[in-house]
């Protein structure tokens, strides 16, 4: 993968993560099922709330560290 393509991938992935985290959980989803369980701990992160062992943050941090991109992007909404 070229460096330019990897930067696009990184920004795309970061944007998708941010979009997911900004949404309300869907009724009947794995996330809402987890949230309804007794003893549920809210990590304030949909991915961590679904699976506390999710590694997306580690992947993003490592990709940034090795130069595959950064966390900055401009989201353009098309209507």
Q: For the chain, where are the alpha helices, taking DSSP H only?
A: 3-22, 30-35, 46-50, 56-65
Residues with Cβ within 8 Å of 28's Cβ and at least 6 positions away in sequence, in order, are none
Q: What are phi and psi of 29, to 5 degrees?
A: -85, 165
Tokens 């309804």 found at: 36
Q: pLDDT per position in the chain (79 positions), as tens? A: 556 665 666 777 888 888 899 999 999 999 999 999 999 999 999 999 998 888 888 988 888 898 887 777 787 888 8
In the chain, the N- to C-terminal Cα span, in Å, equals 32
Q: What is the pLDDT of residue 42?
A: 94
Instruction: Report yes or no on whether pTM surpasses 0.85.
Output: no
């Amino acid at each position: 993968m070229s460096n330019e393509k990897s930067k696009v991938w990184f920004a795309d992935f970061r944007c998708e993560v941010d979009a997911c985290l900004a949404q309300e959980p869907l009724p009947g989803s794995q996330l809402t099922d987890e949230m309804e369980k007794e003893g549920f701990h809210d990590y304030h992160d949909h991915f961590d709330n679904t699976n506390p062992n999710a590694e997306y943050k580690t992947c993003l941090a490592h990709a940034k560290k090795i130069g595959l991109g950064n966390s900055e992007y401009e989201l353009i909404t098309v209507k």
